[in-house]
Amino acid sequence: MKINGIWIPVITPFLNGSVDYRSLGSLLKYYIGKKISGIIPLGTTGECPVIDEDEFQKIIEFTVETVENKVPVYVGLGSNYTAKTVKQLKSVSHIDFQGILSVCPYYSRPGQQGIYEHFRAVSESTDRKILIYNIPYRTGCNIENETLFRLAELENIIGVKDSCGDIRQSTELIFNKPEGFSVLTGEDVQFYNTLVLGGDGGILASAHIETDKFIEVFDLVMNNDHQGALEIWKQLAAIIPVLFSEPSPAPLKFLLKNKNMIQSDELRLPMTGISENLKEKLKSVNV
């Protein structure tokens, strides 16, 4: 099936230095009940850089067991060393999840051929579905559309989380996407634009909050009620900049803790909690 709709890149709750599985389980059950399209543990919003190897496997196992195949689970899994990515993927081959969200190799800044060869090697190492994650402002290099079109020819590369930050590139990608290839925005503020241009949905950190409204925007656009979707989108568009006014996922964790959806808004260094000023702003946001 083609990937579409609202996907939650779920946070990783912490409590006293450890993963808070009680809160994680509650979150997963809550979002599944909202009829989201899929769950992505261990993405950037899940603070993947500060997750230990043993926690990595346990979080995946716990997520799969909790979700119970009610929605697909795609695991955030990638690095800037191709062999390490392949090895990590093989280390979880015994766990029954549907696919991976794999980031463009970061920091090394490979050329387009290097990016292609990286993802081809990952693709050839697994039968799982692969969503590519293009986010140049984090990785230091952009995956050009021509490279994505080449990668889309590989059978198990089925889409992209597009956070390229260039509306012209995103529009060209959506207008020319190969058949069966999904374009999901990772730029929360571009969600409505992505849908009306013909994109397939979003992997949206901000959909942790007001999940129903994000789903309603998607459903209305799919039913060609763009104006109805726009009215709801205006409400969401006012909230999103506040959620990202300080490094994510700290503002989200504060809100989720404030709504008693997690036990603690704890983060792991180098991430730190939000400012008192932002706390007051978030308390006044009607979510």
**Euclidean distance between CA atoms 197 and 169, whole angstroms:** 12
Q: Which residues contact 51 (CB under 8 A, 6 or more apart)?
A: 12, 42, 59
Q: Reply yes or no on whether 70 is catalytic.
A: no
User: What 3-state DSSP class applies to 158?
Assistant: strand
CB atoms inside a 10 Å sphere around CB 158 = 18
Write the DSSP string, 10-45: ----EETTEE-HHHHHHHHHHHHHTT-SEE-TTSTT
Burial 14-42 (b: 16+ CB within 10 A, else e): beeeebbeebbebbbeebbeeebbbbbbb
User: Among residues 31, 116, 133, 192, which one is catalytic?
Assistant: 133
Residues pairing with 76 in the sheet: 101
For the record, the structure tokens of 274 come out as: 């939000």
Bridge partners (DSSP) listed for residue 75: 100
DSSP 197-255: HT--EEE-GGGGSSHHHHHHHHHHHHTT-HHHHHHHHHHHHHHHHHHTSSSTTHHHHHH
Rounded Cα distance between 262 and 256, Å, is 6
Order of all β-strands in the sheet with 38-39: 38-39, 5-8, 201-203, 182-185, 157-162, 129-134, 99-103, 74-76
- The residue annotated as part of the active site, out of 161, 177, 192, 253, is 161
Residue (of 94, 170, 105) closest to 128 by Cα position: 94
| 161 among known catalytic residues | yes
Q: Tell me the catalytic residues.
A: 133, 161
